[in-house]
Structure formats: structure tokens, C-alpha cells
Amino acid sequence: MSNADLVRIFERIADLMEIDGADRFRINSYRRVARTIKDTPTDVAEMARNGDVTDLQGVGKGTAERIRQFVDTGHIDVLVQLEAKFPPGLPALLDIPGMGPKKVGLVHRELGVTGLEDLKKVAASGKLAELSGMGVASVKKISEGIAFLESSGGRTPLGIALPIAEMFADRVRALPGVDRVEIAGSLRRGAETIGDVDLLCASGEGAAIVRQFTEFDGVRRVLAAGDTKGSVTIELADRRELQIDLRVVETDAFGAAWQYFTGSKEHNVRLRERAVRRKWRLNEYGLYHEKRRIAGESESDIYKKLELSFVPPELREDRGEFDRPSDAADLVTLKDIRGDLHMHTVASDGKCTIEAMACAAKERGYKFIAICDHSKSSTIANGLTIERMKKHIRAIRKVDEAIEGIAILVGCECDILSDGSMDYPDDLLAQCDWVVGSIHSAMGKGGSGKLSPTERTIAAMEHRYVCAIGHPTGRLINRRAPMDLDMQTIVKTAKRTGTMLEINASWRRLDLKDLHVRLALDAGVVLTINTDAHHTDQFAQMRYGIMTARRGGATVKDVANCLTLASLRKRIAKKRDS
């Protein structure tokens, strides 16, 4: 059981309570607990077993008992009772844009709706529009939401959404009368998945800009087209749809709008509360003292007026950014990266040669790379036998001598086997400059004499030749859940052994995730951000790893890729000699 499981449970309780018309205070208490658990990097279930769960903000004795009940039995009585009140298909209506818990409760009580098919029927018959608080416009939005839900099927990964957003931003930027266009929303904050794309445009010709936006090539459906906002969908490769929203504002209010529409909601609430204490008003149009706007043209002006340091977008999640402010200049940037320490070539399952990878890295301005092809047990990835690896080492050394201006380190991605041992013998690992230890198989909990993923990872970190743990949780976003790991213990072991933890920058992984990055940094663990590139084109994914690192608060001094080659070699040697 993971923290995510508990988050889903408490959010579901809150939703069902709201559908049932429960007291607002009780509903909000469950939502606060869900948010607290979501933002907690340690294992809440383990905290419950140890009696420490009440240390979490907003978790009282009653909530702690419910958590312990779920840990011990797999269910919570209050949720079982709530679910028994409603038809099984009713809560699924919450996934429809425009259908919050109140509306779901309303259509159930007044129209007897029990699920999606019932909702479609009452919408088509006109009965839905006759309900108090609905109307034709609301029904149209709900109907469009149903269509969108049926075609979208989930959130869109960062690596798919960002290039699309940048393409549409460039198109809007090229229109006559446009002063500025920027990406906003969770995408700007670097969230690993997003619901829709938010674009913000500065122009005095809103209606014309929106009209042209809705007519762009590739638009599948137009959801809205007004004087200041347009919403469209495009079709993705998997036949889902992605919604793109464009808002047009006046130039002198752009900063306020950019801050507001970047979010997060929780961060913005904290800012508004700060403004209210000064008897000011903050919204998407600016910061106001009575009727006079006192800031709004730029984001930095708003933070400065509220006597705050500028908060980088990636940190705007209400996860302590107001309590431990960070200078935006301190966070790691793409320009700080001197090299990439995890990539593959045609020797295993890559698509390019050692030479091609090295030359492409050199063109990006890198000073060093590590070639890390798979070890022998990764047969599906054409892992190298011991003899092939020996030849590969010689080949890497030869290319390193031939190409000037970049150091090519001999590396390997060595499997951590089910018994915690490494896939290559020590004498072979000793010939490598850099070793990434990764789990690729037997990702279950262990048992029957097998080590758990946590125990295997710890064993690898205690190995003198393992420099870093690759994609530590093994997750694939929207495809495979992370392994059941005790991240707190892993982080402590990484610090004790001097082992680095990887932020795998592949948009399919982003592993470590942001909360684990924060946990590692708090413990003083050094991180490494790598693309795991299998082609030269994939070097561009480094920016996704940077976003994730910044969301966790990583600075230049926290990231091994920002070191000079000499400093990196010293750090590696320190662990080998300890």
C-alpha cells in the first residue's frame, strides 16, 4: 500500500460526503488529510504502524485510527458505509468536467441518475437543463465534458504536452497584434502529467486572436470562442484529445494573469491571504489597494509588493516555499549541466554509436558523458556478456582518445539481481569509471527467500563500485506503478554510503519524482540528472529532469552533473576508497 492509495481513499470519502450533502467542515477535513499525505515523502502506512502518523499536519486521533484501519484491514468503515449509499456508477461522474460532487448529488436525488448512461439520457431529454442551477449552458458544458472524458482517458505526460504547448504558443506569437505569449498552468510548474494546456497572451485584440487560434491546423473541436478566451482540443497519437486553453489579457496586467493562471490553487490562496492581511485585493488583473492597481505588470512586482522573494514556478505548490524561500537563481538550470551520465548505444539497446552520442553531446556543450550500456542479465535489452563488455570498454576508451573536447567515461548500467548482488563481477566493475545500479526485473515485494526491492537497492548502494542508483522506483508514468520501496531508508543509506540517486529525465519515468527529490536533498544526498538516452534526439529530455529537480528544490551544488570532471572523479574515488 502506497501513500497514493491513502490519498485516493481520503479524497473519495470527501467526494462521497459532498455528494451526500455532509457538513462542509467534515468534508474539508478529509481533503486536507489527503493533501497532507500526498505531500508527505515518507511512508504514511509505516508511520501509522509506529504510532507517528499524528505528527502530520491535520491528522488527529480519529483520522489516525482510520489510517491504521486501512493499513490493517484494507478498508475504512466510513468509506464502506458511504459507498453503500450510492449506486456503484455514480462516483465515476466526478471525472466529467463540469460535474462536481454537488451536481452529482443533485442529479442523483432529483433525476435518479445512477451512472454515465443515465446522465447522457437526461441531458439529451432536456430534463437536466430544467434542474435549478443547471441551465442550457451548464448542460452543454457537461455534454462536452462527457465527450472529452470518453476520448481523453487520462492525464497527459509532461513530455507529450510541453512540445505541443510550445508549438501552439509559437503559432499565437506569430499572429498580428500579439505582444507576448507564455505557457501557464501545471505545465509551467513542470508537473509530471497535466490535465490541459494553458496559454496566456498579451494583446489588445482578444476577439481576433481567439478566432484565429480556434482556426489553427490540427484543431479537432472548438469548446469555446469568446473575446478573451478560446478552448480547443487536438487529437493525440493514442486517439485521446488534449484540451488547449488560450486567455488574452491587457499587457499591463500580464504579470498578474501569468501568476494567477500558473497556480497552483493552493499557492495562490496563500498569496491572496497575504494581500488581504494588508487590506489589499489580488486577482488575475492585478494587486489592488482599494480601486488602485499597485502591481500586476510583472510577476516579480507582485511578490516584491507582498514582501516575498520571487518564487520560481516549479515551487508554487504550497509545500513550504513561503517558509523556506529560495532565490530563483539558486535552482539548477539547463545551462548548469556539464554532462550526462546515463546513455545507451548500439552495443545494447541504443540506436546510435559511441561516436554519435559523444559528438551530439559535445555539440550541446557537454564536457563529459558516461556510456552506460546494459549488463548481461538484461537480455531483452541486448545486455552485454562479460566478454562483450570487455571489448566495449576498449571501444569506449578508443573513441575517448579520438574525440577532443569531451571526456567519454566508461560506464555501465548494471542490474541489481534478486539477491542484491551485481550482475558483473567486481574486477569488471573496477574497470569502469562510472557504474549505475538499476533494478529491471523481479520488482515485487520479495519474500520466499528473495530480497525486497528496498533490500536489493540498499545492497547495491553498499557496493563500493556503484556510483548511482538508476531510476530508483522503476515507475513508468501512466503505465507502471513504482516499486514498493522504503524511500526514507534508501535515502539514509545513500547518504551514509555516498551513493548518488538519479533523476531519470525520460518523460516516461521522471524518477526520482519531485517529492523524493526533496526527501533526498533534506538528507544531504547528491543527485544526478540523466536522460537515459537511447538516441541522440533524447538528449533534449534533460529539461524534464531539470524541471523535476527544481520542483524538489535542487540547486547547482546538489547535482553531480554540474561538477567539473575533476570534482566528479574525486567524488567517485572517495566512495571506492572508503
Q: What is the mean pLDDT of residues 101-127?
A: 90
At residue 89, the pLDDT reads: 85
pLDDT value of position 52: 84
CATH superfamily ID and name for 336-577: Metal-dependent hydrolases (3.20.20.140)
Spans of all domains in the chain? 3-151, 156-249, 254-321, 336-577
Please tell me which residue, 537 or 88, carries the higher pLDDT value: 537
- The pLDDT score that the predictor gives to residue 467 is 98
Report the pLDDT value the prediction gives residue 43, as an integer from 0 to 100.
Answer: 83
Q: In 254-321, where do the E strands start and end?
A: 281-283, 286-289, 292-295
Please tell me the least confidently modeled range out of 73-82, 453-462, 502-511, 561-570: 73-82
- Fold of the domain spanning 254-321: Beta Polymerase; domain 3 (3.30.210)
pTM listed for this prediction: 0.80
H or E, element range at 302: helix 299-305
Query: pLDDT band for position 199 (50/70/90)?
Result: very high
Q: How far is CA 29 from CA 26, 58, 550, in A?
A: 5, 8, 30
Which pLDDT band, with edges at 50, 70 and 90, does 151 fall under? low
Interatomic CA distance for residues 164 and 159, integer angstroms: 9
Q: Residue range 409-429: average pLDDT?
A: 97
Question: Can you read off the three cell numbers belonging to residue 160?
Answer: 507529450
Using 50, 70 and 90 to split pLDDT, how confident is the model at 299?
very high
Of the CA atoms within 13 Å of residue 85, those in its CB half-sphere come to 19
Q: Is the predicted pLDDT of residue 244 greater than 60, yes or no?
A: yes
CATH 1.20.1260.10 fits 3-151, yes or no: no
Q: In angstroms, what is the C-alpha Rg of the chain? A: 26
Percentage of residues in the chain having pLDDT higher than 70: 97
Question: Picking from 71-75, 126-130, 390-394, 402-406, which range would have the lowest pLDDT averaged per residue?
Answer: 71-75
Q: Picking from 40-44, 61-65, 330-334, 381-385, which range would have the lowest pLDDT averaged per residue?
A: 40-44
Give yes or no for residue 295 having a pLDDT over 90.
yes
From the list 150, 167, 160, 221, the residue with the least C-alpha distance to 194 is: 160
- Smallest Cα–Cα separation from 114: which of 99, 104, 129? 104
In this structure, of 88-97, 330-339, 434-443, the range with the lowest mean pLDDT score is 88-97
According to the model, what pLDDT value does residue 171 have? 98
What is the Cα–Cα distance from 473 to 517, expressed in whole angstroms? Answer: 12
CA distances from residue 172 to 180, 202, 244 in whole angstroms, order as listed: 9, 10, 12
| Contact by Cβ (8 Å): 67, 30 | no
pLDDT bin (cut points 50, 70, 90) of residue 454 is very high
Query: Which of 82-96, 103-117, 230-244, 424-438 is most confident?
Result: 424-438
CATH number listed for the domain at residues 156-249: 3.30.460.10
Say if residue 153's pLDDT is above 60.
no
